[in-house]
Amino acid sequence: MITSRNVSIMCFHDELCQVFNALMTALSLLRNGSKVTVFFGSRGVLAAHRGHVGSLTCMPDSPEEGEAVMKRMDELDLPLVEDMFVMLVAEGATLLACPLNIPLFGMSPNDLVKGVKVADPTSYYKDVVIQADMNLTF
């Protein structure tokens, strides 16, 4: 018997492999009965930016290795990050962006991927992080 869990996933990067792993973990947990909240903070808000999400790169400090990983991901026909956002929203995940990091990176709430909402800093930690059975960071 699977027990439902509250899971908080925090994504603090805009590097493709980190974002992919955060979103794929969220999808897997969601599909196994967990209530999932994904929070995009620090550089993670860039991963939730409508204009940036399609151009995320893998291992930007090692371009050759990053290109090879991206090619292999394509060969494996893995879902695109943009598609995982759609799946997460459709399947009931809560997607939140840090209200402090949005303006820090020159963004506005209108720049966020559809379905990503601005977190309420007065309640996010109390209602999501502290209540979670698991807190995962990427």
Tell me the two tokens of residue 25: 């973990």
Domains of the chain with bracketed CATH? 6-137 (3.40.1260.10)
Q: What is the pLDDT of residues 49-90, one digit of tens each?
A: 999 999 998 988 888 888 888 888 889 989 999 999 999 999
Confidence of residue 119 (pLDDT cuts 50, 70, 90): very high
Share of the chain above pLDDT 90, in %: 82
- Please, what is the average pLDDT of the chain? 94
- What's the DSSP call for residue 78? P
Confidence of residue 5 (pLDDT cuts 50, 70, 90): very high
Given a cut of 70, whether residue 3 has pLDDT beyond it is: no
User: In whole angstroms, what is the distance from residue 115 CA to residue 81 CA?
Assistant: 14
The SS3 call for residue 80 is coil
The DSSP code sequence of 92-112 is T-EEEE-TTHHHHTT--GGGB
b/e burial code for range 32-63 (CB count within 10 A of at least 16 → b): eebbbbbbbbbbbbbbbbeebbeebebbeeee
